[in-house]
Structure 1
Amino acid sequence: MSWASWGDFFAMGGYALYVWGSYLVALGIMITEIALLALRRRSALAGLRARGAAREGRR
C-alpha cells in the first residue's frame, strides 16, 4: 500500500475510525493487562510476606 501524503495514511482510505479505534482498544487492553498483573503480583508478594511472618511468629 502506498499513500500520497501523511493525511491519506491517517485517513486509511475512509476507514480511519475503525483502524485507529482498533489500535486504541488493543493498546488499552494491553495496558490494563499489565496493570492487573502488577496488582496481582503485589498482592501475591504481600500474602507470602504475611504467611512468612505468621510462620516466624509460631516458632
Structure 2
Amino acid sequence: MAFDSLSAFLLMGKHGIYVWSAYGVSVLALTWLVWNTLSARRRTINKLRKRFLREQNR
C-alpha cells in the first residue's frame, strides 16, 4: 500500500481536505439527483393516475 497508516491515507499528503470534500460533494450531488428523479417520477405517476381516473368517470 502507498500509505503507512490510516491517518496518512486520510490526510493524503495535505490534500486530504480537497480529496474528501470532492468525494462528499459528489456523493451529495448523486444522492440529490436520485432523490429528485424518484420524486418527480412519483409525482408524474400520481398526476397521470388522477387524470386517468377523472377521464374514466366521464
Query: TM-score normalised by the shorter chain: which range applies?
Result: over 0.9
The runs of 4+ residues in structure 1 deviating greater than 6 Å are: none
Aligned pairs for 1:1-59 (under 5 A) are 2-58=2-58
Q: How large is the Cα RMSD of the aligned pairs?
A: 1.0
Number of equivalenced pairs: 58
Q: Distance in 2 between matches of 1:37 and 1:24?
A: 20
- For 1:37, the aligned partner's letter is T
Q: Distance in 1 between matches of 2:4 and 2:43?
A: 51
Higher helix share: 1
Q: TM-score, normalised by structure 1?
A: 0.91
Q: TM-score, normalised by structure 2?
A: 0.93
Query: Identity across aligned pairs (percent)?
Result: 28
Q: CA deviation at 1:51?
A: 1.1
Which structure 2 segments of 5+ residues have no match? Answer: none
